[in-house]
Structure 1
């Protein structure tokens, strides 16, 4: 069991923003080739680092102009052993990449923090397998061991928190939450769902959140939903219950397409930013405690700006 850690400065603010869909923006809007959909190799050269800074700066400026906090992610969703091996990276090289990612984020946020903005640096942990399919399923103990090196690299480099993103079954999320606690970092767990509102593993959002909380003594600071359109999880939230109070943020897809359709897509579906923003506003009207707002696949700075206009 792991005691809870919730000391995150952006939780004391009215709304905190995140970025949109990093990888889809880079691939479809910037024309950058990302083998295995991995953005972390961009950290290895000046041009790549400049591209990442330019991407995140758009969102930082949206937040700063509106007096909001911003959760600044590292581009490390794929920077774990299995995906790293596919891309030719050793464990030592991955540890260096993860530390570099935090250092890059710390440098980027510095002028904003100097002007009084709240910008926690968030070490992003992705699934061992595919985010849309629960392959390579692990026990919580196996998951904690598997992800611990990446989490430790984030801690050593000075990250403020860790987020497990696009989790599709609860056991891996339990392991990451405990790995974060072992490293002394607050954690956030973000689950993805299919069009029926249930996770790819078939588990409901309620069951997944309750499993993680039961197994970790409520260790995560909060939970999120990402990589799904609001129409996919509306029915799950409509169930009601105390478990919904544990959902602190949403990073929705722009498109209402299924994961299967998105996986096969050769063109970006940006959806309708205004419609997405209206859905966020409706969600906030019902669940005012959901304060961390951002985007996932297909969203860019236009979607985040529209969400701000609708929700503030």
Structure 2
């Protein structure tokens, strides 16, 4: 039997599906590596849960985002640090299947503890189980069928469901069949699923498929089962021009976690220094997407961003909502 704290609070009525603003965090791995000095093999933040002081390091990372949400009086979606916590990456890190399951559970418990300590009526805290790609996240690599992807990701999703998450979010998805597998496995576990695609500088997935076509295909082949879609690990200037206001697929994009940098994935992969960009400039580029993506309610960051960027985004977005007048500004190339 699950402990009371592991009872899902929002699984059947995700509050971020309403019009209110929800924040999420920024670039977890880049913050831990470049700002906090942690060595994360294969970008695996969940491995900190195996180390002395690792849980405290993760709490120190998440708490500033919770405080920003509390200060602004908005909700927040907290993503478990489990982007790499699947069998292939665990094998590279030397974790057994039993250790992997325990670490996924502990990652959820950590965020449930934060929720128990900080949630208020004006700041609901939604706990999402983060699912990462089987492959790199910047390239497709060896693709799976939808059925194979559901089987592969199913064990992690079941563990996260049993631990008490409200939903799962697949981040940095590079092709449609893996997205479909996550949606199907989440449905089998009784969880809502969010799919967050990444795109190259031309607005296409690493598979080469246009963003809009990928969203439409996932919806068509799953009867619209995904709760919503997101874009992450890309700068707004990479996909602004491919958005089609007024279409069903753009209305399905409810979340954005952009990179601070305009560099391509290949350039980021080779970079020795962090490109943190400019928080206020990135915030204005989020604002510029309001007319193109009218359903946006979940805003955070990805590579190179930290709590400063999310704070700036929250201020700019709330100012926009208060004024009711989107600023017409195209993200610079």
* TM-score interval, normalised by the smaller of the two chains: over 0.9
1:182 matched residue in structure 2: 188
User: Following TM superposition, by how much is the alpha carbon of 1:275 offset from its aligned partner in structure 2, in angstroms?
Assistant: 1.0
User: Following TM superposition, by how much is the alpha carbon of 1:288 offset from its aligned partner in structure 2, in angstroms?
Assistant: 2.8
Q: Distance in 2 between matches of 1:299 and 1:219?
A: 30
Q: Secondary structure of 2:178's partner?
A: helix
Deviation digits for residues 252-311 of structure 1 (CA, Å, limit 9, x no counterpart): 000000000000000000011111000111112443311110000000011011111111
1:145 matched residue in structure 2: 151
User: Following TM superposition, by how much is the alpha carbon of 1:113 offset from its aligned partner in structure 2, in angstroms?
Assistant: 2.0
2:202 matched residue in structure 1: 196
Is this contact kept in 1: 2:254–2:296, CA < 8 A? yes
Q: Name the stretch that deviates more: 65-74 or 42-51.
A: 42-51
2:135 matched residue in structure 1: 129
Deviation digits for residues 77-115 of structure 1 (CA, Å, limit 9, x no counterpart): 000010000000112211111111111110111122256
Deviation digits for residues 164-203 of structure 1 (CA, Å, limit 9, x no counterpart): 0000001000000000000000110000000000011001
TM-score for the superposition, normalised by structure 1: 0.96
Q: Distance in 2 between matches of 1:9 and 1:302?
A: 24
Runs (5+) with no aligned partner, structure 2 = 1-10, 319-333
1:218 matched residue in structure 2: 224
* 1:103 matched to 2:103: no
User: Following TM superposition, by how much is the alpha carbon of 1:12 offset from its aligned partner in structure 2, in angstroms?
Assistant: 2.3
- 1:63-78 equivalences under 5 Å are 63-78=69-84
TM-score for the superposition, normalised by structure 2: 0.90
- 1:221-300 equivalences under 5 Å are 221-238=227-244, 241-300=247-306
Q: In 2 relative to 1, CA 238–164 (structure 1 residues): closer, same or farther, beyond 3 Å?
A: same
Q: Distance in 2 between matches of 1:136 and 1:148?
A: 18
Q: In 2 relative to 1, CA 6–200 (structure 1 residues): closer, same or farther, beyond 3 Å?
A: farther
Q: In 2 relative to 1, CA 225–257 (structure 1 residues): closer, same or farther, beyond 3 Å?
A: same
1:39 matched residue in structure 2: 45
2:326 matched residue in structure 1: none
Q: Distance in 2 between matches of 1:302 and 1:274?
A: 9
The partner residue of 2:58 within 48, 52, 55 is 52
Q: In 2 relative to 1, CA 245–114 (structure 1 residues): closer, same or farther, beyond 3 Å?
A: closer
Is this contact kept in 2: 1:198–1:204, CA < 8 A? yes
Q: Name the stretch that deviates more: 101-110 or 144-153.
A: 101-110
- 1:168-179 equivalences under 5 Å are 168-179=174-185
1:16 matched residue in structure 2: 22
Is this contact kept in 2: 1:38–1:77, CA < 8 A? yes
Count how many residue pairs are aligned between Structure 1 and Structure 2: 308
Is this contact kept in 2: 1:15–1:292, CA < 8 A? yes
